[in-house]
């Protein structure tokens, strides 16, 4: 089973909860998975992993967080071709357009997108956490 990095940014803790559930799902499925806040993970470390779960909430006008996550992801995009990737995040308004555009962007990078991107309104409830765990397990199966 492959190595997975779960890399996320969270402002209120909702996306962090999701990240921990994705991690748990990947680990239960047999993957060697590690959790990283985006500021503690460098693009140069990506070569040591077989797959990635990226988590970021919708910000502003339904965009990725622009201070840390967007610059990281923009740099990481060049290393995603052919790599299994799962996307997740929370939102508090709008209909999840940020996830749709992020998923399309990731597919255009050549990544093997696992799922369509998991967007959960506000904090994840038990069903949402189960969806996160399944996403982690699905990613583990893809690496």
Provide the pLDDT for residue 112. Answer: 98
Provide the pLDDT for residue 62. Answer: 87
Q: At 36, which helix (H) or strand (E)?
A: strand 32-37
65-96 per-position pLDDT tens digit = 999 999 999 999 999 999 999 999 999 877 78
25-70 per-position pLDDT tens digit = 999 999 999 999 999 999 999 999 999 999 999 998 889 999 999 9
Tokens standing for 95? 């209909």
Tokens standing for 22? 């994705």
Provide the pLDDT for residue 100. Answer: 94
Q: Determine the straight-line distance between the first and last CA of the chain, rounded to whole angstroms.
A: 7
**How far is the C-alpha of 116 from the C-alpha of 45, rounded, in Å?**
25
Provide the pLDDT for residue 141. Answer: 97
């Amino acid at each position: 089973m492959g190595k997975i990095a779960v890399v996320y940014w969270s402002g209120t803790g909702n996306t962090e909860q999701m990240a921990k559930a994705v991690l748990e799902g990947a680990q239960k499925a047999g993957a060697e998975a590690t959790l990283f806040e985006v500021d503690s993970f460098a693009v140069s470390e990506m070569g040591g992993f077989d797959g990635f779960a990226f988590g970021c909430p919708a910000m502003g006008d339904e965009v990725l967080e622009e201070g840390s996550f967007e610059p990281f992801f923009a740099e990481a995009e060049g290393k995603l071709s052919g790599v299994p990737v799962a996307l997740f995040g929370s939102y508090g308004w709008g209909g999840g357009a940020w996830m749709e555009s992020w998923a399309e962007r990731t597919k255009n990078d050549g990544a093997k997108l696992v799922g369509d991107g998991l967007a959960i309104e506000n904090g994840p409830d038990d069903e949402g956490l189960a969806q996160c765990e399944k996403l982690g397990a699905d990613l583990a199966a893809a690496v």
